[in-house]
Amino acid sequence: MNLYPLPLFANIQLILGNASYVISAVLFGPWYALYTAALAVTGLFITWDSPHVYLIFTIEAVCIGLARRKDIYSLYSSIAFWIIIGMPLFYLYMMTYTSLPSSHLPFIVLKQGINGVFYAAVGSLLVILTPSFWLFQPKTKDKQRRTFNAQLTYAITLVITLALLLAALLFNNQFINRQQELLLQNINESSLHLGKLTQAYIDNHVLALNSAANWLSLYEAEVDQKQLALGQLHNQYPGFITMLIADEKGIIKSASPVSLFNSKSNPPSELNISDRDYFIEAFVNQNYFTSPVFLGRGFGNDPIVAISAPLYRPNNAYHPIGIIEGSLDLKRFKEIDKTNKLFREQFIVVVDQQKRIIFSSPELNVKPLTEFSYSQNNADSSSGLPTLNIHDKTNIAPEYLYASYELNNEWTLYVLNPFRPLVVLVEQMYIATFAILALSLIVTFLITRVISGRLTRPLERIANKFSTSNKNDNSDYSIDEESPKEVYSLYMRLKQSKSQLIGYQLALEEKVALRTLELEQANEQLKSLAEKDSLTGLYNRRYAEQQFPLVQESCQRSDEVIAVALLDLDRFKAINDTYGHLSGDLALKSVARLLEDDFKRDDDIIVRFGGEEFLVIMPLCNALKIESHLESFKQRLAEIVIENPANNVRFSVTTSIGAVIANGTYSCSLEDWIKQADLNLYQAKDTGRNKLVFTTLEDTLT
C-alpha cells in the first residue's frame, strides 16, 4: 500500500500502509512494531526517495509500542508523538535537507501529523473490529484491567475521529478537484483567447503587407511614389516599427519612418539587407515570409520579427525586382498582456519556431531572444495539472500552471498562472479544516466521556450494591428512571437472587469449613506419604530435591559449606538371595536407625535415595571433622549384627561411601552434587567396597 500512496493534491498524499506497524505495536509491542515499520516504510522510501521515513516512522512505531506497554491507547499515544516528537523532527529535517520554501513547511508538517493520526486510527480500529486478530495471543497485555467507561470512551472517540478525518479529507479533496478544474478551464480559455488575439494581430499585418506588395507589383511607381505609399501604409498599420522597400541587390530604397532613412548614421549605401533571411526568403525563394525573432540593426537594435513579401514588375510576375518588409512591433503584446491582467493574474510568453522568446510579461524577468527553457520533471502528476518551472528548475514545488496555443506561423503562446495562490488556498483550507477538526475531537472526547459515564454508572451502582465489600453499607444504590432497560432488568434479577444466594452461601460455608478440616488432615497424611519412605521412615528423594534449594541458599548467604554423602550397601543382593527379603528389609531399617542416631542435627537431611542407597546432606558442617565422622559411621555399621527372628539368621552389612564437600556457591542443582558423590562412590566400590572416598570440590560451577 505504501508503494502507491493515495494522492490528494500536489505533494499531499494519504498513507494507509503505516497502519500495519500500529497493529503490530498494539498486539506485540515496540520491537515487532519496529521490524514491521522498517518493512512498511520501504515502500515510501521507494516512492518518495527520502530517507527521513526510516527515522520518523520507526521512532513512531517504537513510541506507540512502548506506550502500549504503559496501558496507553494507541490513538492517544500517536497524537502525543506527533505533537511532541514527530512534527518538530519532521520540520527540522525539511528545513535542513529539502529546498522547499519555508512558507510551505508549516502546512506540510501539519499535514504529516494529521496523516499519522489518521493511519493510527485506522490501525487501532482494525484491531478492534477484525475478528481474525482476536485469535492472536498478544505479547503485550494490559497490566491493569481497564474500566468500561475508559473502553467505551476510547472506542467512540476512535470511531468519531476516523469519521471526522475521513470526511474532512474527502471534502477537501472534492473542493481541491473542483478548484483545479476551474483553474484549468480558466487558463485554457485564456490561452485560446490570447492565442486568437495574437494570431489576428499577426494575420492582420501579414495581410496588410501582402496587399501592399500586390499593389506595388501592379503599378510602375517612382521611388518618391513608393516612399509616399509606404509612409501611408505605415500610418495605417502602426503595429510595424519600421517598413522598407529594397531592390534586387538588397539596398534599401524606401523606408518608414523616413527620418530613419535620412539619418546621417545610416547612409543608403550602407543599408544592405541581402544577407537577411527575410530578404532571401522573399526575393530568392519568392515566398511570403514571417521570420523568427532577431536583433535589429541599422534602424535600431530592438528584437524584431520581420514580415516580407516579393515585389514584381507589372508585366512579369516571375522575376522579383525587390522586397517589401515590415518589422513587427513586439511591444504591442504588452497591450494584450495588460488587458488580460485586468481580469486574471496571468503572464504570457510568446516564442518563435526556434523556441526563442519573442515577448514575455515583464514580471517573469526573462530576456527576449533567449531560449525559453523550463522544466516539468518537478510537476507532481497527482495534481492533474500541467505545471512548469522557469526560474528554479530543480525545485520540487511547481512555479506555474500553464496552457499553450500553437499559432499558424509555428509560434507558440504560453499562458502562465502562478501555482502558489492555489497552494495557499489549499493550505488555508486544510489548516482551517484541521483546526475545526481538532476542536471537534476535544469536544467529542469530553461529550463521549460524559455519555459513557452515564451509561456505565448504573452498572457501577449494581456492582457496589451486590459487592461483598459493601454488605454493611446502607447507602442507596437504586437505579433511576434514566437507566437503560437492560440494566434495570439486571438489577431486579440480582436483587431477587441475592437473598437466595446468601442462604446458599451460609450452607456452603458450613460445609466448606467441615470439608476444609477433613482436607487438612488428609493433606498432612498425604504429605507424610509423599515425603517419607514407608519402609525406613526416612525422607525420600523428592523431599531432598525440594529442600536442597533452601539449604543451598542459606549456606550461600552465610558462606558456609555443604557435605553430601551417597551410601550404597555392599552385596545387598546377596543378602536378599541368601537370607530372604525380610532380612534385607531388616538391614535397611537398621541402617536407617543408625543414620538417624549419627546424623541427628536439625539441619541434616537423611534420605533413602533408592533401593539400598542412602543420601545424607549435611549443611553448615565442620569441614575438618566430616570425613572422620563418615568413617566412624562406616565402622559402626560394620560392627552391628542383624538378627532375623523368623529364621534365627544373624548377619552384618557394610557400606561404601562417596562423599564430597564444597562451598554453598558450588551449584544450585542437587544433581551436580550427587553426580560428584556418585563418582566417589564408584571409586569406593571399585577399590574393594567398605570404603570411604571423600573429596573437596572447587567452586567452579554457577
Which amino acid belongs to residue 252? I
CA distance 244 to 504: 125
CA dihedral 481, 486, 491, 494 (to 10 degrees): 160
pLDDT tens digits, one per residue of 613-630: 999 999 988 888 899 999
Within the chain, which residue ranges are assigned CATH 3.30.70.270?
Answer: 541-696
Within the chain, which residue ranges are assigned CATH 3.30.450.20?
Answer: 219-328
Fold assignment, 541-696:
Alpha-Beta Plaits (3.30.70)
Within the chain, which residue ranges are assigned CATH 1.10.1760.20?
Answer: 6-145
Cα distances (angstroms) measured from residue 633 to each of 590, 599, 692: 13, 9, 10
Ranges of the chain with pLDDT below 50: 264, 379-382, 472-477, 702
The set of cell numbers assigned to 459 is 452498572
pLDDT tens digits, one per residue of 570-607: 988 888 888 888 888 888 999 999 999 999 888 899 99
What is the architecture of the domain spanning 6-145?
Answer: Orthogonal Bundle (1.10)
CATH superfamily, domain at 219-328: PAS domain (3.30.450.20)
| 8 Å CB contact between 382 and 7 | yes
Q: Is 93 exposed, middle or buried (0-12, 13-18, 19+ CB in 10 A)?
A: middle
CA distance 22 to 174: 29
pLDDT tens digits, one per residue of 475-492: 444 565 556 666 667 666
